[in-house]
Amino acid sequence: MAEYLWLVWPISIGLGLIVIGGVIASTVRRIRRSALGTIVNAVSKELIRNGGEIDKINLNQDNGPKSLSGMNETYKPQIERDFPTLNVNELMSMSECLLRSYFDDLDSGKSTSRSVQDSGMAYKFKEGKPIPLTPSLAKTISLEKENNENERRKPYFNSVRIHKTVINQYSRKAATAVIVFQTALEYLHYFKENDIVTIGNPDRIQQVRYNVEWLYVIDESKLNSSETQALSLNCPSCAAPITSVSMRSCEYCGVSIEPIDIRLWRADKIYTI
């Protein structure tokens, strides 16, 4: 028995190291779940983001991308079955491009004055392909810009970074079909009045979600009033409402009107959730 006594110390040391290792691992797990762990994790991510330059670290931001309500597996096969010629992935990419164009359009440092009629032509996709907007959305964007100008409020959208886009909803009725894409993104968003920041923080990265709704007219004759309003135009001459998307002349003043191509997916709404 005495000949094995020399093994007692190595075994004891080994068991001690195992116990100490378990305690350390448990402590590390607790730290990671604590506020200190959150800070350490944020610092690590910022170091990676900034190429290891510690002086560029900014912890004054939301933690991680917003979660998305994605239904790709459910809705994508339905959309492809209903619209076999539609490239869903391209429309999804166009939706992301639309968001970037929308931010640039509103941003006081990047935007240029555009009328309601020109807004749709100003938003471009790959190789200069225009992003089609419904007149309703074009008007909403113009009104948003006008309200900012009237309030002497200058919006800014900087460091926009899109994380992911998913199909959030899809519905098809007798008259229309609607696809809703949901995008998780981050940006620096704030407002200035008289060169003073009044809303937001120019140094705080915000994690947000945006929905973009795309509208397709299947049967014009079955449109309800709200759907007709989304696609209708005002007469460029007398501003009278155009009640049918296929009208070629104003029923009030008789001026010629360019009919809308209804067989086309158009962005109809942009909003945060």
Please write the tens of the pLDDT for every residue from 183-201. Answer: 999 999 999 999 999 999 9
Beta strands in the chain (DSSP E): 154-172, 176-193, 196-200, 206-217, 266-272
Contact indicator for 255, 235 with CB cutoff of 8 Å: yes
Who has greater pLDDT, 217 or 63?
A: 217
Q: Delineate the domains of the chain, giving CATH numbers in brackets.
A: 2-56 (no CATH), 72-272 (3.10.450)
pLDDT in tens, 41-69: 555 555 555 555 555 555 555 668 889 98
CA angle, residues 91, 228, 95, in degrees to nearest 5: 15
Q: Where are the alpha helices (DSSP H) in 107-237?
A: 116-122, 135-150, 225-231
Who has greater pLDDT, 261 or 101?
A: 101
Which residues are 129's β-sheet partners? Answer: none
Query: Is the C-alpha dihedral spanning 34, 40, 41, 46 positive or negative?
Result: positive
Which region holds residue 17: left if phi is over 0, alpha if psi is between -120 and 50, else beta?
Answer: alpha
Q: What does the alpha-carbon distance between residue 183 and residue 164 come to, in Å, rounded to a whole number?
A: 6
> What's the confidence (pLDDT) of residue 253?
82
Question: At residue 141, does pLDDT exceed 70?
Answer: yes
